[in-house]
Structures are given as structure tokens and as C-alpha cells.
Chain A
Amino acid sequence: MRPDRSGLTRRALLAGASGTLALGSRQAMAEGIEEQGAKDVDTSDGAVIAVVGDPQLGPMVRDGMQLKIEQINATLNKADRSGGLLGTELRLYDASTDLPPASDVVGRDVRSAVLSVARRVMGQRGLIGVIGHTAVDDALPASITYLNRGIPFIAPSITSSDLTLHGLDNLFAIMPDNAEISTQTARLTFDIGRRRAIILRDRSDGALEISRAYRNEAAVLGLEIIDERSLPKGSSPRDYLAGMQGKRVDHLLIIGSMEMQIGLVRFAHIFGLPVLCVLPTMVNVEMFRDQLLAAAPRIANGRVDPSFPRVLIPVLRARSNLSTKQVEWGDQFKTRFGTDALDLSMQGTDAVGLLAASFERAGRFNVNEAKRVMHGELAYNGVGGRISFRANGRIYTKLLNFASVRVADTPSILYYPAGA
């Protein structure tokens, strides 16, 4: 039996306990931070924005940031100190490949590596913001290091709600959290006429969080959750999918790694569950389609069995329904880097735009003012849509699009665009 209390609750309790312990010394340290942020940053050699990431995902964010920084700098007139950001040139400090890959982020050795990168970044003169990190386990300790200097930190891709659980003053997450993604997924599933679900998930905290949010929204909408299984690592889908053949369901909610999700879609087909498979996690949809196609069972002439299930995935951009801004940005990105832009690069561009807009509105390079603007009054209109933040620093304005992936006959990706 698993204990009743979830990992999330335990962490909240731990946070509470440690917070209480620290209360006495907090005031003094907080005053120190205020003092740090009260002075304007010295940007006489340019205003620096740092990108921190791992070799797998960091460069994607960096390229998006680079594009926006170059666009801002292109407006700079050094003679009369106009244009740019408050008449100043922006510079990128590149630590986009300095962290270990997200898959390796376990244990204390990683923490010390992360902190060493974070301290190095903090040593940059003219630093006005940090963008990056793709795993909550490295982002959270690093964000505290950034907080120590009062520097705004924007996480472009982390969906775990652990990141914003503590309400760090300097931390801004521009990707919806797992609960929000799951809620929006439940609504779309309801809207396309699905009413009865089985939830299959792995045993991670993230999967539990997604499942709970789906259940909550299902209760509001009247979606029926027929069954839910948390699957131990290495278990065979045969053990539980065989028992589901007789149940009348119209969709499976599959929460876990991409490998697990694809395996379960395949087994759902093998066990004759001709249902929509809903995967409420953000993935690269083209890569997912290719992997699903490779895993799909074949019939005569190497064709994929036409009854192979359709898969529904949330995405940031609906490729069939790009906004004018997204089309222009995609063209600029391709011209600059020679490749098609990924969603993560768009997040990088928007993160720089957001920072720049905040300092612009603050009217000076003061990190406290910029954070106040971001928390309290900004509705930045980025490539991916509007960005405003909850009090805990998580974006609440992102309407997700959904991709419907089918690999039978002609592999295709159709989109349910947000607001269409």
C-alpha cells in the first residue's frame, strides 16, 4: 500500500515546517535582498540576459532568445542612446549547455553542479535576468541563488507545480502547469463528445498531479472516470488492459513518459480498445508522430492498421492556424538559423520580450521594479499569446491548442486551435 499522503502534500508540509523554523532570520535576509534590488543594475557595458540549460534543450531556448535580442539591438542608436532596451545594448550570456541533461537530474552531485553554474551566471556584470532550466530539480535550487541577488528568473518549459509552490518573488513560469494542462485537456475531451475515461498513469508525482486535475475537471463537466491504474515501472500492459476489454469507455488518459504512452497506445489497439488516447503532456508533436508510426502494428503491404487509435496531445502552437505574429516569427527564425522553429524557441523569444517589456515599463534597470511590473500589471503580448502571472509566478493566460495525431493510412496531424 502506498501512503495516503501524496508527495506533493509532504513537500508542502516540509515547506511549511522549514518556513516556520526560518521565520526568525527571514526578515533580516529579506531586507538584504531588498537592498540588492533597490539599486539599478550597472549596464554601462550592456544589459546581460543569461540562458541556462542542458545540451538537449538549452540551445532551442537560446536560439529563440538570440533572435529577440538581435531584434531589440537592431533598434539601438548608440549616438543618441535611443532604441535597444532603454537605450542600452542587450547581451546574451550563454550557459545553455552547462547543466546535465534533465534525465540525469538525480542526487546531490547535480545540485552542486547546478549551483556552480548559477553562481557563475550571477557573477556577470549587468545581469538583468536569467532564462532557462528544464527540470524542476535544478531550477528550484538555482532560482534561490538568483533570488539572493533579486534577479528575475523565467522558466520557459517547466510544467511541474513544484516550481511555483513556494511563490518565489523572482520566479516566473511561462508554461502552464500540469494541473492547468490537464484541466484544459479535460474540457476539450468533453467538447468533442467523450464522456467515459480510464486513466492509466505512472507512479510519479507529476502523473498524480495531472490525474487529480483531470478528475476534478471531469467532476465539474460530468465526465465519468471508470477506472484508474497507477502502473509500476516495468509492468506489462497485458496485466491490466486485458481486464478493460469489457468496459464501455471512449477515451484512455495516458500519463507518463513518451515511451510508456506509445506502448500503451499500441497495447490498447492490440487488446481491441478502439478508443481515443489522450496524452495530457507537452511533447514535440512531430517527433511523437514519427515514434508512434514506428511503433504501430502493420497489416498487408506494410500499411498501418486503419483501426489504430487516434491520439490527442496539447501543443503550444496549432500549425494549421498560426497567428500573423507566429508566421512572421517562424520566417525570421528560419532566415536566421536555417531551421524550422520549435515551440521551445518561441518560449525563449517570449521570455526575452517579457523581460524587456518589464524593464521598459519600469523605465530603468531596476530588478525590483521589473518584478513588480511582471507580478502586478503586465499583459505582455508575445508570439505565443498573452502573458500575465498569478501571484505565485505561474502564467495563467495561455490557452492551449490540441493536436490530433493519426498514423493509420496517411499519417496526419490535425489541430484544434484555441479560440477557433
Chain B
Amino acid sequence: MALMPILGVRRLLLAFAACLAALLGASPARAQDDRDYMRVIGASEMLVYAAQVATKLSEQAQRKFPQIEQSSGEGARRTFCAKLRDSPDMMIAPFGIDKSPEEICGPNESLLALPFGRQVFVLYAAQGGPHFNVTRGQLFRALARELPRDIESDSAEGGFRPNPYQRWSDISPDLPDIPIRVLGPPERTPQWLTVESLLMRPACFEMPAIKALAKVDEATAESHCLSRRGGPAVTFADGAKYNAKPEIVPRGMELALNERRAMLLTKDMVPLPIDGVEPDVANLDANRYILARPLIAVTKVSRLDHIPNLRNFIRELVSPRASGPRGYLALTVGMDTLPETALSKSALRAEFAQAGGAGKLIKSGEQK
């Protein structure tokens, strides 16, 4: 009775339950929760690939499903790289071609990074809509909210002005004399963040005035570069609708900018060339099309032989039946595939990777 005021009735009940649990066969090992499944984390739009592969594996054999976790690209990287015993074993992410292992988790984590597909963005119009060649710089000038007063000046002193361009021909006389009307993914979606890193930031930082500003104040330069224009020139898909179905349908003179995978939802659309390069297989394989980047599965080498099914998962992910041109990731969820040589290189690396071995990041430039 003396214990009652200290612990309370509820705690006593729980203690009683614990006692019975021990009597009746609850295993202390279970309570410690030794992990017998793999954990994979990724930017949310990447997880569809992990889920497809996991589904195939669990259909083929009696296997537990991986724990699939989502975050933004940066959130996924931080969680993956956390120095915790139980951090995720694999991260699926799109990376630029210049990423080195140190930039992912720092020098002390040995990583195996295997390209298995591509993320491709396209500018497209409806059948019968406008079709012309546009450069990345011109497209940026159509989308930006503000531009340096003197774009060609190499001084940061000139300041900024609201985007003055109303028609494509205002940007360059080579472009058609039609009003600028571009539809894009909603702000803060992973798709828009990708547009920022593939299009907005690099195109903006090519301008001498921005280069000069970045030397003194990079954060301000970045915020100018990433500010996007409002209607009627540029409009963005409704967030809730886009989350439910990431389709953007241009009409008449409108153009749309979206992940190509989402074009599966939008039949009969015509992609426009960027910098004179069409987003076709030959150009993608040659890394000539600039609005594309590889999808990479990054795995902690030290986990490969300790986490059940991790190696099987990797083998399946980089296999032709999953990620090849006729693989189920292309056919069911529209993933853009890598050339077969790049995929077999990934498969080979996956096969021979072992703890203590060379777990170096493969740069996507090496994939050819």
C-alpha cells in the first residue's frame, strides 16, 4: 500500500502486466527490437521506385517489407547520414553529376552509390501548341520574378527590377511573338525544388551581374535567383490537386514544365528542345539534355552483410528486370532508364561490394 502514492494505480497495473508477460513467455530479445528488415529513405517522389521493388521482392519470396521513409532531399540526407546505429541503410536520391562521397555523409562513412535510373524534366505543349527551341537562360528569364537591371553588367551595383518580359519575343527576337504562359509544379513540391536546382539556379548564376553579387552576398543572389514570377505569365498547379495527381495540362499557347514521368498522365503532349537538345534516349544517354539527373541508390557498405535482404534489394533494383528499358519501373511508374551498360556496371558493383571493400561513390559521369 505504501507504494501506491508513489507509483500510482496505473503504474502498478503495468508492473503487474510486465510481471505476467515475463512469466508467460514474452521474450526480452523481442523488446530490444533487433532489426530484421531494411530501412530505405528518400525524397518523397523517389519512394515509388523503392515501393515497387519491395513489392516485387515480397511477392517473389516470403520476405518482410522494408521500412520506407520519406523526407525532402536534404531531410533524407541528414537522416541517412546521422551517426546512429539504427539510421536508414539506403537512401534513394537524385544527385547532380558533381557530387562526391564527402558531400553526402562526410569522409567517415563508406558508401556504395549505384545509379539505376534518371529523373527528367520537360517543357511541353499540347498537340498543335507552340513548338520552338529555347535555351535554359531564356527559360529562366521567362520564369524569374525579378532580373538584374543590367543583365550583362559584371557589377552587383545595378540592382533588380521586376521581370519586364511579357512575350517570348521580348526575351529574344528568335523566339515566337506569343505571350509567355508557363504552367509549373506548386512551390515547395519536390518537383519544383528540382526545377530550381536544374534550371533556375544554374541559369541565374550564369549572368555576370549575379556572379558579381554572389561574390559578396551569395544568399541574396540565391534568393533573387529562386524567386519565381506570378500570373498571368507563370502559373503554378494547385498544391492539393497536384499532390493527388501530378499532371499539368497546357492548353492553346501555354507551355508546361513538369517531371516527364507525370506526362504518362497527360497523353499526346509534345516536348520542346532545351538548348537545341530534345529529351530523347540518345541525348539522355550522352548527358546532353540538361534538365535531367541520375537517380542513385546510396547504401552504407557496413550494413550490406548485416541487414537481412539489403543486398537482395540492391540486386533487384539495379537488375534489368526492374530498371532496364523494359523493366517494371519503366513500364509501371514511368521511370527514365539508364543505358544498359551503365546499369550492368551498377549491377557488377552491387555484386562485388563488401564491407571493408571499396565503397566509393560512383559519379554519374562514369556511367557511360
Contacts and interface: CB of A to CB of B under 8 A. Distances in A.
A391 B29 contact: yes
Nearest to A420: B243
A15 B22 contact: yes
Contacts of A318: 243-244
B358 interface: no
Contacts of B32: 167, 391
Contact of B15 (A15, A106, A379, A419): A15
B79 A221 contact: yes
B321 to A, nearest CB: 19
B23 A14 contact: no
Nearest to A31: B25
Contacts of A396: 37, 67
A392 interface: yes
A21 B18 CA distance: 11
Contact of A18 (B15, B45, B84): B15
A113 interface: no
B118 to A, nearest CB: 19
Nearest to A30: B25
A392 B239 contact: no
Contacts of A137: 10, 13-14
B22 A414 contact: no
Contact of A166 (B21, B54, B240): B21
B17 A144 contact: yes
A376 interface: yes
Interface string B24-67: 11111111111111000000110110010011001000111101
A378 B28 CA distance: 22
What interface size band does chain B fall in? 35 or more
Contact of B64 (A11, A23, A107, A379): A379
B265 to A, nearest CB: 13
Contacts of B72: 190-191
A108 to B, nearest CB: 7
Contact of A378 (B17, B64, B241): B64
The secondary-structure label for the interface of chain A is helix
A336 interface: no
B26 A419 contact: no
Contact of B25 (A10, A29, A111): A29
A11 B11 CA distance: 7
Contacts of B18: 11, 14-15, 18-19, 165-166
A29 B13 contact: no
Nearest to A167: B30
Given A108-B9, A388-B64, A26 B79 contact: no
A253 to B, nearest CB: 17
B348 interface: no
A139 B39 CA distance: 29
B188 interface: yes
Contacts of A25: 23
A386 interface: yes
Nearest to A7: B11
A33 B20 CA distance: 13
B25 A22 contact: no
Given A7-B11, A10-B7, A221-B75, A167 B31 contact: yes
B27 A169 contact: yes
B18 to A, nearest CB: 3
Given A26-B22, A193-B188, A420-B44, A14 B15 contact: yes
A392 B33 contact: yes
Contacts of B306: none
Contacts of B69: 184, 187, 399
Contacts of B30: 167, 169, 391-393
Contacts of A30: 24-25
A355 to B, nearest CB: 17
Contact of B37 (A33, A144, A388): A388
Interface in A186-231: 187, 190-193, 217, 220-222
A361 interface: yes
A244 interface: no
A307 B346 CA distance: 52
A165 B27 CA distance: 11
Interface string B333-358: 00000000000000000000000000
B9 A391 contact: no
A165 B23 contact: no
A333 interface: no
A393 B241 CA distance: 36
B21 A106 contact: no
Interface in B141-187: none
Interface in B227-285: 239-241, 243-244, 246
Contacts of B244: 318, 320-321, 417, 420
Interface in A405-420: 414-420
A270 interface: no
A147 interface: yes
B61 to A, nearest CB: 9
Nearest to A145: B20
- Among A167, A193, A320, A381, residue most surrounded by chain B Cβ atoms (within 10 Å): A167
Contacts of B35: 390-391
A18 B20 CA distance: 8
Given A107-B9, A187-B79, A23 B31 contact: no
Interface of B: 7, 9-11, 13-37, 44-45, 47-48, 51, 54-55, 58, 62-65, 67-72, 75, 78-79, 82, 84, 188, 239-241, 243-244, 246
6 contacts: A137-B14, A147-B21, A168-B26, A390-B33, A391-B33, A419-B47
Interface of A: 7, 10-11, 14-15, 18-23, 25-26, 29-30, 33, 106-108, 111, 137, 140-141, 144, 147-148, 162, 164-169, 184, 187, 190-193, 217, 220-222, 318, 320-321, 361, 376-379, 381, 386, 388, 390-393, 396-397, 399, 414-420
Given A14-B14, A386-B65, 13 more contacts: A18-B22, A19-B19, A108-B13, A137-B10, A147-B21, A166-B17, A167-B21, A168-B26, A187-B70, A378-B62, A388-B65, A391-B32, A397-B67
List the 5 closest pairs (A to B, CB-CB), nearest first. A167-B30, A19-B22, A18-B19, A15-B18, A379-B65
